[in-house]
Structure 1
């Protein structure tokens, strides 16, 4: 029986989650179907555009994404502080960008006068919308359902397009987050459909590299903000150049299918995370095979399981071997 989301999501322990959705039909989500010869490559743009659109609506930041032929990977960061800081009008406006809302919420959005009973009803509605706008399940629903409807219309069929439930796993510390991001960003290179990170279409790494060429970071991806310090802005606590260098060198080793070495230039992140190179290569090539549940050090895993009253520490052995063994 599938594990309920409430037994997986614990914002108290981590805002970071790795999510995967797979196409349930034999026909491809994107790419070219080798059986029929039909190309679905244009659908990659549908998915990427929707991901980036949702990042502007939800209080959920995109750390990494990749759109593959029959599945998508996302690394998400839930921002509870952001959603709690929105005004009621902000919440309604954002919700209406994706959903119709109620008759009362539509009146409120238009600035029309509301009766007392309508205000009471609206208060509960806004609280519900506010909660949903920081909910990963609602994010994935808002991503997957429109794509499924559009693909079904194009295929002239009905029924499920995605698997019944998307998969999600908690990323409990910065080592788990960065390893998972690199795993996601390097998906096309591992699959031998791209030679380099910058040629990996429909990925967050390609978007970050293009922005870096002009000295910027993508506004619709969670930014790298450098090492922790006073008054630090929201973002990933690493330097962007270090991450891009590390992913590039890791990709070269993976692509060449032979033993290689991470250079001294790219090593600062691994030293900070206390991850040996051998472990890093294992993590970035086999992440989803190694970990079926939450990912992090044993200390973080213990706290996470305690908060969720989980008796069994799923994946503790691999967490210890690959993230605690340095």
Structure 2
């Protein structure tokens, strides 16, 4: 039986989530349909542009993404604290970029005064919009509905485009977050549509490696890597970007050509910090979705998530014990 979204999202346990959306039947999100010969490659741009736009509106950061031929992978970070600190005008300005709002919210933004009675309803609406702006379900709804409408319009058809609701996995610790990000970034490699991470079109790793190669600042649209833990550190992923890109590149080459040998832990500071060996890392970055369903992380964190979300059973506990031992 499908689980309710509230049993899959628990911000008490983690702000990081891996979301996957798949097209129905033979619908093509992108790529070339081998039956009709029609190319849908331009739709990759639709998804990527919409995704990055939504990140600028919501209080949700993008850690990794990959736009595949009939599905998308996204690793998201929910910043509830930021959304709760926004002023009323900031909340409404952001929300109105996506939806019309109400007559009262439109009236407020135009500078018209509201009566005492109107303010009661207005304040409730603002708080509702605030919550939606850090809600993963609303984020994915604004991505998937937009793409479905555009695709159906282009195909001159109606009906369902996506396979129901998106799949969500809670990433409960650093190991799960980094392994899932690499799993997402390496999707084109495993699918044999790219030979190296930097050649993977419409992926976060391509954006990151391009910036690194050209000695430019990290992409603003993506959650930054900020190095090791320190005081007064900015928001970001607490690893070095260069180390992450090198590890993903090495892993990708190993996946493409098993003759290249086992990844050397000593050459990868991230693996050392995560407390993972090369066998664990390769298993996670090639079979992440196979081993984990609603959540991934160290065993004790999986048990906490299970308790908070009131799951009777949680698939993946045995694998968490083997693959994600807490460093």
With normalisation by structure 2, the TM-score equals 0.97
Find the counterpart in structure 2 of residue 145 from structure 1.
145
With over 3 angstroms needed to count, the CA separation of the structure-2 counterparts of 1:94 and 1:163, relative to structure 1, is same
Spell out, residue by residue over 1:116-156, the C-alpha distance to the aligned partner (whole angstroms, 9 max, x if none): 22111110000000000000000000000011001000000
| Secondary structure of 1:12 counterpart | coil
Find the counterpart in structure 1 of residue 65 from structure 2.
65
The answer to whether the 8 A contact 2:265-2:271 is kept is: no
Cα distance in 2 for partners of 1:233, 1:39 equals: 42
Cα distance in 2 for partners of 1:160, 1:264 equals: 46
Find the counterpart in structure 2 of residue 43 from structure 1.
43
Shift of 1:262: 2.2
The answer to whether the 8 A contact 1:16-1:171 is kept is: yes
Find the counterpart in structure 1 of residue 161 from structure 2.
161
The answer on 1:98 being equivalent to 2:102 is no
Find the counterpart in structure 2 of residue 279 from structure 1.
280
The answer on 1:82 being equivalent to 2:53 is no
The answer to whether the 8 A contact 2:265-2:277 is kept is: no
Cα distance in 2 for partners of 1:320, 1:230 equals: 31
The answer to whether the 8 A contact 2:194-2:200 is kept is: yes
Spell out, residue by residue over 1:40-63, the C-alpha distance to the aligned partner (whole angstroms, 9 max, x if none): 000000000000000000000000
- Map 1:1-326; keep pairs closer than 5 Å: 1-212=1-212, 213-258=214-259, 260-263=261-264, 266-324=267-325
Spell out, residue by residue over 1:97-122, the C-alpha distance to the aligned partner (whole angstroms, 9 max, x if none): 01111111111111111122211111
Cα distance in 2 for partners of 1:97, 1:258 equals: 51
Count of residues in correspondence between the two structures: 326
Gaps of 5+ in 1: none
Cα distance in 1 for partners of 2:108, 2:326 equals: 56
The answer to whether the 8 A contact 1:298-1:316 is kept is: yes
Cα distance in 1 for partners of 2:259, 2:92 equals: 53
Shift of 1:307: 1.8
The answer to whether the 8 A contact 1:198-1:206 is kept is: yes
With normalisation by structure 1, the TM-score equals 0.97
Spell out, residue by residue over 1:8-39, the C-alpha distance to the aligned partner (whole angstroms, 9 max, x if none): 11101100000000011413110000010000
| Secondary structure of 2:122 counterpart | helix
The answer to whether the 8 A contact 1:61-1:77 is kept is: yes
Cα distance in 2 for partners of 1:40, 1:152 equals: 12
Shift of 1:257: 3.6
The answer to whether the 8 A contact 1:242-1:266 is kept is: no
- When structure 1 is superposed on structure 2, of 298-307 and 241-250 the one drifting more is 298-307
Shift of 1:5: 0.8
The answer to whether the 8 A contact 2:227-2:239 is kept is: yes
| Secondary structure of 1:56 counterpart | helix
The answer to whether the 8 A contact 1:55-1:62 is kept is: yes
Q: Provide the aligned C-alpha RMSD in A.
A: 1.3
| Secondary structure of 1:61 counterpart | strand
| Secondary structure of 1:36 counterpart | coil
Cα distance in 2 for partners of 1:168, 1:258 equals: 34
With over 3 angstroms needed to count, the CA separation of the structure-2 counterparts of 1:119 and 1:216, relative to structure 1, is same
Cα distance in 1 for partners of 2:191, 2:117 equals: 57
Spell out, residue by residue over 1:261-310, the C-alpha distance to the aligned partner (whole angstroms, 9 max, x if none): 32466421101111110110011011111112210011111111122233
Cα distance in 2 for partners of 1:287, 1:255 equals: 17
